[in-house]
């Protein structure tokens, strides 16, 4: 996969259309989510593509809610989608539309189609319609209601609309061709009776349009030029065009592109909503979720997500992208802008016996070596500090360069220390590590040029603040969670680890929700919305180990 693809095939189509003045020089796209769940990273691809094309060719992009099914849609989802698209950095100006606002016009056009003899009211049940449809190898069978008179159809359709019939007892169907090689053309359903209130229309409607009927009209009403959708709609394009041709109204061009999939997760609102409803995660914005809201809460930046989407390119086939690429993108972004700080996630105490009891030194620490403008801060040093438990070993193997009995290491920004003793509790667990420091190594460099191999991060025990830190792994244990019948059996039981006793340097005291840092040696972290003044909570966004760079090096 190239890092930065040049022009994609959709841009080539758009440029050709512009050259040929196909839509009087207009480029007008739309992002058409159904408000039946939160947006995920796959939607981000569609958003970037639609808004990106409009931006690049001086066109427009609408945000349109495809809210034609009252059963699963709701205001909460509308709100979250609006927030997510904005957060990604896109602007639809005054072009926020709702398909449900077009119900009246859609109804009138359906009446027109009936008048043209191109649609009829059918009394077959759903099951019967399926049986009559035939298969890829066998033609379908015509419905016994197919040849109702136009007058009868008009009357029945109006009564469907007025709520006179039971749910499931009638549909409105297009009258096309029951032997058509494309099954979508075998008299597809345009309206079904659903007696449920719509979140915006209330109880006004008893019939609701299907996707096939509604979507082409929505695009047509909004004078969309390029209607970009995912591959599963390729087989529906012929129907999309048939409806608009019969009605003789403005016809946009439908273009299909490959869906984005990610390893170790699922990208389907239906499945994500199972994870939420059945409590496998803590809501749509759980930091483990591949939703935009989840990624945002985890600490991802819009820039990193857009960079990721761009690198995955646009193609005519579905793709599965390595999760490591997404992580690589956030690392690259945060490397430039996240300040480095020190935090000890699994603390053990170190006592520096030759350092005066009451003394405190405020040492200079560079905020970000990648950004010279980020400046310095002061960090306190004193006799008792915390280091990571894993940074000390009583009986170290070869190549362990951290602290061990009689070993010397550097404390970042501070001094060299040497371990002289270890104190244990009654269970044999290490309670305190006794060290001596070299007063001539201030800043972490010895005067005599003596070298040490290990550099540890640490915090002052007297000044540090307590925090909870949440570490995450992939939500699923398999690259493709869907390879088994039930994706839920591949849930990773260790996807969340909460560390409740972490120690942070005091500069993090006023960190705000959403602020991001690099904890030296530990990764990039973001303040979670569960944070309180008493107990800050940080999410690990990503570790520092870049497995994507490794994969890429192997490939090239």
As measured in angstroms, the least distance from the Cβ of 230 to Mg ion is 9
Q: Is 259 one of the annotated active-site residues of the chain?
A: yes
Q: Which residue has the tokens 């915390």?
A: 386
**Residue of 34, 152, 303, 384 marked catalytic:** 34
Q: Is 152 one of the annotated active-site residues of the chain?
A: no
**Residue of 95, 118, 259, 418 marked catalytic:** 259
Q: Is 34 one of the annotated active-site residues of the chain?
A: yes
Q: Which residue's CB is nearer to ligand ATP, number 216 or number 504? A: 216
As measured in angstroms, the least distance from the Cβ of 389 to ligand ATP is 41
As measured in angstroms, the least distance from the Cβ of 106 to Mg ion is 18
**Tokens matching residue 133:** 């449809």
Binder of ligand ATP out of 27, 260, 419, 504 (CB under 6 A): 260
Binder of ligand ATP out of 10, 14, 17, 33 (CB under 6 A): 33
Q: Residue count at the site for ligand ATP (CB under 6 A)?
A: 15
Burial class (CB in 10 A: 0-12, 13-18, 19+), 151: exposed
Binder of ligand ATP out of 18, 154, 267, 420 (CB under 6 A): 267
The residue range among 5-13, 28-36, 72-80, 187-195 that interacts with ligand ATP, by the rule CB under 6 A, is 28-36
Give, for 4, the enclosing helix (H) or strand (E).
Answer: none
CA distances from 479 to 125, 282, 284 (A): 40, 22, 21
Burial class (CB in 10 A: 0-12, 13-18, 19+), 268: middle
Q: Which residue's CB is nearer to Mg ion, number 270 or number 529? A: 270
**CA–CA gap between residue 139 and residue 134 (Å, rounded):** 5
Binder of ligand ATP out of 246, 268, 315, 368 (CB under 6 A): 268
Binder of ligand ATP out of 237, 269, 298, 340 (CB under 6 A): 269
**CA–CA gap between residue 324 and residue 308 (Å, rounded):** 10
* Residue whose beta carbon is closest to ligand ATP: 42
- Alpha helices by DSSP H, listed for 299-450, are 302-312, 323-337
Burial class (CB in 10 A: 0-12, 13-18, 19+), 232: exposed
Q: Are 314 and 342 in contact (CB under 8 A)?
A: no
**Tokens matching residue 360:** 């405190």
Quick one: which of 261, 297, 336 has its CA closest to 45?
Answer: 261
As measured in angstroms, the least distance from the Cβ of 256 to ligand ATP is 9
**In the beta sheet, which residues pair with residue 348?**
387
The residue range among 29-37, 405-413, 435-443, 525-533 that interacts with ligand ATP, by the rule CB under 6 A, is 29-37
As measured in angstroms, the least distance from the Cβ of 263 to ligand ATP is 13
Q: Which residue's CB is nearer to Mg ion, number 108 or number 232? A: 232
Q: Which residue's CB is nearer to Mg ion, number 77 or number 524? A: 77
Give, for 276, the enclosing helix (H) or strand (E).
Answer: helix 269-277
**In the beta sheet, which residues pair with residue 87?**
none
**Residue of 269, 297, 331, 340 marked catalytic:** 269
Residues of this chain, 38-57, that bind ligand ATP according to CB under 6 A? 42-43, 45-46
Q: Are 18 and 237 in contact (CB under 8 A)?
A: no
Task: Give the footprint of Mg ion on this chain (CB under 5 A).
Answer: 34
As measured in angstroms, the least distance from the Cβ of 40 to ligand ATP is 6
Q: Does 226 bind ligand ATP (CB under 6 A)?
A: no
Question: In sequence order, what are the residues at sequence separation of 6 or more whose Cβ sits closer than 8 angstroms to the Cβ of residue 205?
Answer: 70, 103, 161, 198
Active site residues: 34, 259, 269
User: Which residues contribute to the site for ligand ATP (CB under 6 A)?
Assistant: 32-34, 42-43, 45-46, 229-230, 259-260, 267-270
């Amino acid at each position: 996969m190239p890092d930065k693809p040049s022009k994609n095939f959709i841009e080539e189509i758009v440029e050709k259309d512009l050259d040929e003045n196909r839509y009087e020089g207009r480029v007008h796209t739309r992002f058409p989510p159904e408000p039946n769940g939160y947006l995920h990273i796959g939607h981000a691809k569609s958003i970037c593509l639609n808004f990106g094309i409009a931006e690049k060719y001086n066109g427009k992009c609408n945000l349109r809610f495809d809210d034609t099914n009252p059963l699963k849609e709701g205001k909460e989802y509308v709100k979250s989608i609006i927030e997510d698209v904005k957060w990604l950095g896109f602007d639809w100006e005054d072009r926020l539309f709702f398909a449900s606002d077009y119900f009246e016009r859609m109804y009138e056009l359906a009446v027109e189609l009936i008048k043209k003899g191109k649609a009829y009211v059918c009394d077959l049940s759903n099951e019967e319609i399926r049986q009559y449809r035939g298969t890829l190898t066998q033609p379908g069978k015509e419905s016994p209601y197919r040849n109702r008179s136009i007058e009868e159809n008009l009357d029945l359709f109006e009564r469907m609309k007025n709520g006179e019939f039971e749910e499931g007892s009638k549909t409105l169907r297009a009258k096309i061709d029951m032997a058509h090689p494309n099954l979508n053309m075998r008299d597809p359903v345009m309206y079904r009776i659903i007696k449920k209130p719509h979140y915006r229309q209330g109880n006004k409607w008893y019939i609701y349009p299907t996707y096939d009927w509604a979507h082409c009209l929505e695009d047509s009403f909004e004078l969309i030029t390029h209607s970009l959708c995912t591959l599963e709609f390729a087989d529906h394009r012929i129907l999309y065009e048939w409806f608009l041709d019969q009605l003789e109204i403005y016809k946009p061009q439908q273009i299909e592109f490959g869906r984005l999939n990610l390893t170790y997760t699922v990208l389907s609102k239906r499945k994500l909503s199972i994870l939420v409803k059945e409590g496998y995660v803590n809501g749509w914005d759980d930091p483990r979720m591949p939703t935009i809201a989840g990624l945002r809460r985890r600490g991802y930046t819009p820039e990193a997500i857009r960079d990721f989407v761009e690198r995955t390119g646009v193609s005519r086939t579905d793709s599965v992208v390595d999760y490591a690429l997404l992580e690589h993108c956030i690392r690259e972004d945060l490397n430039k802008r996240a300040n480095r700080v020190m935090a000890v996630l699994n603390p053990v105490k170190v006592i520096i016996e030759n350092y005066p009891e009451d003394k405190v030194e405020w040492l200079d620490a560079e905020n970000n070596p990648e950004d010279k403008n980020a400046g310095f801060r002061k960090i306190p040093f004193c006799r008792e500090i915390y280091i990571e438990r894993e940074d000390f070993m009583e009986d170290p193997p070869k190549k362990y360069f951290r602290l061990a009995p009689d070993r010397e290491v550097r404390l970042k920004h501070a001094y060299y220390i040497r371990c002289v003793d270890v104190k244990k509790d009654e269970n044999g667990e290490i309670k305190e590590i006794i060290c001596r420091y070299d007063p001539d190594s201030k800043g972490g460099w010895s005067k005599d040029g003596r070298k040490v191999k290990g550099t540890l991060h640490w915090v002052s025990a007297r000044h540090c603040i307590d925090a909870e830190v949440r570490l995450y792994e992939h939500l699923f244990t398999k690259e493709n969670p869907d390879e088994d019948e039930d994706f839920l059996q591949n849930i990773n039981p260790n996807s969340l680890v909460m560390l409740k006793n972490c120690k942070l340097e005091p500069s993090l005291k006023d960190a705000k929700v959403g602020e991001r840092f690099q904890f030296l040696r530990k990764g990039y972290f973001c303040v979670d919305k569960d944070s309180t003044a008493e107990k800050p909570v940080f999410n690990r966004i990503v570790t520092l180990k870049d497995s994507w760079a490794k994969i890429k090096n192997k490939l090239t």
